[in-house]
Structure 1
Amino acid sequence: MCLKAVTPINISDGIVLGAKDYLYDSRRQKVYFLNLHQWHMFIYKHMLLKKYESYLANFRDKQSLLEWLRMQGYDIDDVRTVITSEAQATVNLMDNEKKKTLNDINRHIQQPDGSLYVPGSSIKGVFRTAILYTLLQKRQDVKVKYWRQIQEKISSNYFKPYKDLNKLISDLENELLHTLRLLDAGIRSNNAVCSAMRGLQVSDTYASRKMQTAILQKVDGGLDKFDKASPKKLPIFRECMLPEAELFFDVKIEKAVMSTIGISSVDDLLKATHSFFAAVTDLLQQAFGKEYQEVFQGVSAGNMFLGGNTGFLSKTLLAMLAPDKDTAKNTIKVLLDKSFKNHKHLLRDKVIAPRTLKCTNYNGKLMLMGVAEVRKV
């Protein structure tokens, strides 16, 4: 299989680099990532340890790590051996109006040697959600049942958003995906060994050291009080795979197992994936398409949302369980208000809940985050 980035994609490895952890050259519009062991060896070899310790201990907003390095008489070319990779940084990583320190960067997941990849578990998670969506289209009774439970839970005074919803989703998965009838005594249907998803194996993508990345800023595409486009830049920066980047991976389907949930081939899998993707993009376009036309240009080339900052709707089935979009909006905004009191979802989620498109700016264009195309090769 081939995974192609249609818009920028970030899959975080949980590592967030602070201002003192990378070299930022605003003139070259580059961020340089360091092998910390080799960086410390460079510091020690060039007898900079005391000055470096002083820099770290007395770090101020006025000096980046590269500026400090240049003050010691060295530059990027002098530390090439300690740089593991570099990324484009056309967006300014320093907010001159509020502060002079560099912002934190959420890195893309990588192998120990610095090569980028996409975990098979991330791709399989998208496949699982898409399969559940497809099965729900055939099981109106299940949709009604779980939507009623969601409304009952949310209206309860004892509602615990994460615990209660996770339990409901787990029950939904058990009902739709746990189709294997095993003869072993003591194995219940809620045991993962009964899940038909055992019949789908997805490898990690083959890592790539040559892949170009860029540091991109999070942009929330919302609407103002006049329902006009009002994008808002947030101080959150991610290292992203760029549009047109391609990675390859393997998929194995055990037909005897997967056919119990209606998947007998890769074509069936891709059909389900595209159906869920189309349903989510249709919801977003109905709410934002008039004011954010540029954001949706070219998105139809994709068939899945992948990675971070792709939005609530692309990662959950709540809106798809609802009988109609207005009911979905009204219920989801209550859920979000209970979960995030300060975000004013009840007041501001007028057209859709949540009320923002998850975007970034790249090459002078506002783009949705995380749109990918997966295809056979």
Structure 2
Amino acid sequence: MNSKQFETAKMCLKVVTPINISDGIVLGAKDYLYDSRRQKVFFLNLHQWHMFIYKHMLLEKYESYLANFRDKQSLLEWLQMQGYDIDDVRTVITSEAQATVNLMDNEKKKTLNDINRHIQQPEGSLYVPGSSIKGVFRTAILYSLLQKRQDIKVKYWRQIQEKISSNYFKPYRDFNKLISDLENEFLHTLRLVDGNIRSNNAVCSAMRGLQVSDTYASRNMQTAILQKVDGGFDKFGKASPKKLPIFRECMLPKAELFFDVKIEKAVMSTIGINTVDDLLKATHSFFAAVTDLLQQAFEKEYQEAFQGVAAGNMFLGGNTGFLSKTLLAMLAPDKDTAKNTIKVLLDKSFKTHKHLLRDKVIAPRTLKCTNYNGKLMLMGVAEVRKV
């Protein structure tokens, strides 16, 4: 391979704060074994679990349990009533996770909560899709390009304000269209065979010159079931974190995952990326900009949540917040204008959330967190570096 045309690098993604990338699978109370004494959740191979039920002639009792489930008995409790325990079903367990947070809300209900699983390979190992990492790179590159083109920032900000003030504004449709147009303007830099640039054709996107593999190996990998915590303020402006009944299987701090990046220099240079180092510089710049916004609004009352965050250079996965996933705040001329516009957008999108009334310091008004090892942490902070 001609090194002048391409740069390849083995990369390490280190988990700084808990990360969850959902595979869309949500496990209900009857789909996993929860041992509160051991503080563990045990995930099942459903085919082998059903074979266990059939082999031990428990099918009729199991069907009765499923049919008469009334928020009273967990699957493990049912299994123990049949005379079996965790050690008896080791062969049907695919993986396990820490559960230091109680998965049962005793004040409101007796059932276990749903769990959003982390995406995994067919054999059960957790990984990060290359598409997720590349999506972060894409947003960071757009941010980097915006810093060099004030005229384009002004143009798109005006469009945003015009859209939001319109009586026909459709948040998802109009905002997604605007971001698509922005990507076309910045990233669709390649010419087709006939010499034309067709901005609405993905074939013209310079992002074709960036290849990112799925993670293919990991070390220090452990997972835990962690609860969503929204860090907000009370009416006096003091910290008022709120625990929500949303639980995620998360990769934990210090875990390291490995993947490969390949840059086609002639293609990526059209958007200002000539090396992997350029890519990482852009990624860190966007991360720093988002972190700065959050710190200005929250750090006084939520110092603990920002401890160690400076070691990261990207937000990744679920529950990382609106600001880390969009460029809307970065298009605004200043942070107050961004706040006032974003809260109007959110109010039009989520009528019952009272963004106009409550988003006083920043919009959205919550810091996306979780509790781990007795500490409040931001969700989804990672460090990506060359190995």
Is the structural similarity TM-score above 0.5? Answer: yes
Q: What is the CA deviation profile of residues 251-302 of structure 1, one whole-angstrom value per residue up to 9, with x for unaligned ones?
A: 0000000000000001000000000000000000000010001111110000
Structure 1 partner of 2:233: 223
**C-alpha deviation, 1:26, in angstroms:** 0.0
> C-alpha displacement at 1:182, in angstroms?
1.8
How far, CA to CA, are the matches of 1:152 and 1:288 in structure 2? 30
CA contact (8 A) 2:218 2:258 kept: no
SS of equivalent to 1:249: strand
Counterpart secondary structure, 2:236:
coil
Three-state SS of the structure 2 residue aligned to 1:233 is: strand
Give yes or no for contact 1:224–1:230 (8 Å, CA) kept in 2: yes
| Alpha-carbon distance, 1:184 to partner | 3.5
For 1:324-358, what per-residue CA distance to the aligned partner results, in whole angstroms no more than 9, with x for missing partners?
00000000000000000000000000000000000
Structure 2-normalised TM-score? 0.96
Q: Deviation string for 1:143-191 (max 9, x for gaps)?
A: 0000000000001000000000110000000000111122247872210
Alignment-derived partner of residue 8 in structure 1: 18
C-alpha contact 2:216 2:259 (8 A) present in aligned 1:
yes
Q: Is the 8 A contact 1:116 1:209 kept in 2?
A: no
Superposed CA offset, 1:65-106 (max 9, x none): 000000000000000000000000000000000000000000
**8 Å contact from structure 2 (residues 188, 206) kept in 1:** yes
Structure 1 range deviating more: 206-215 or 186-195: 206-215
| CA deviation map 1:283-324 (0-9, x unaligned) | 000000100011111100000000000000000000000000
Query: What is the CA deviation profile of residues 31-68 of structure 1, one whole-angstrom value per residue up to 9, with x for unaligned ones?
Result: 00000000000000000000000000000111000000
The 2-side partners of 1:201 and 1:208 are apart by: 20
* Alignment partner, residue 139 of structure 2: 129
Identity of aligned residues (%): 94
The question of whether the paired residues in 2 share the 8 Å contact of 1:360 and 1:366 is answered with yes
User: Structure 1: any 5+ residue segments left out of the alignment?
Assistant: none
For 2:70 and 2:90, the matched residues in 1 are separated by 26
Q: Secondary structure in 1 aligned to 2:218?
A: coil
SS of the equivalent of 1:230 reads coil
The correspondence of residues 156-171 of structure 1 with structure 2, limited to 5 A, is: 156-171=166-181
Q: Is the 8 A contact 1:35 1:84 kept in 2?
A: yes
Instruction: Name 2:5's counterpart in structure 1.
Output: none
1:188 to 195, 198, 202: 198
Unaligned runs of 5+ in 2: 1-10
Q: Given the superposition, is the C-alpha separation of residues 187 and 282 from structure 1 closer, same or farther in structure 2, using an over 3 Å criterion?
A: closer
Q: 2:161 aligns with which of 151, 159, 163?
A: 151
Kept in 2, the 8 Å contact 1:116–1:207? The answer is no
The question of whether the paired residues in 1 share the 8 Å contact of 2:219 and 2:255 is answered with: no
Say whether the 8 Å CA contact 1:115–1:207 is kept in structure 2. Answer: no
Q: Which moved more, 1:180-189 or 1:293-302?
A: 180-189
Residue 115 of structure 1 contacts residue 209 of structure 1 at CA under 8 Å; is this kept in 2?
no
Cα root mean square deviation, aligned: 1.0
- Assess if the C-alpha contact under 8 Å between 2:219 and 2:257 holds in 1: no
Correspondence for 2:383:
373
Q: Match of 1:208, SS?
A: strand
1:22 and 1:32 in contact (8 A); partners too:
yes
In 1, the alpha carbon distance for the partners of 2:300 and 2:199 equals 46
C-alpha distance in 2 between matches for 1:142 and 1:187: 19
Q: State the TM-score, normalized to the length of structure 1.
A: 0.99
Q: Is the 8 A contact 1:135 1:261 kept in 2?
A: yes
Aligned length: 377
Cα separation, 1, equivalents of 2:325 and 2:30: 33
> Following TM superposition, where does structure 1 have runs of at least 4 consecutive aligned residues deviating by more than 6 angstroms?
none
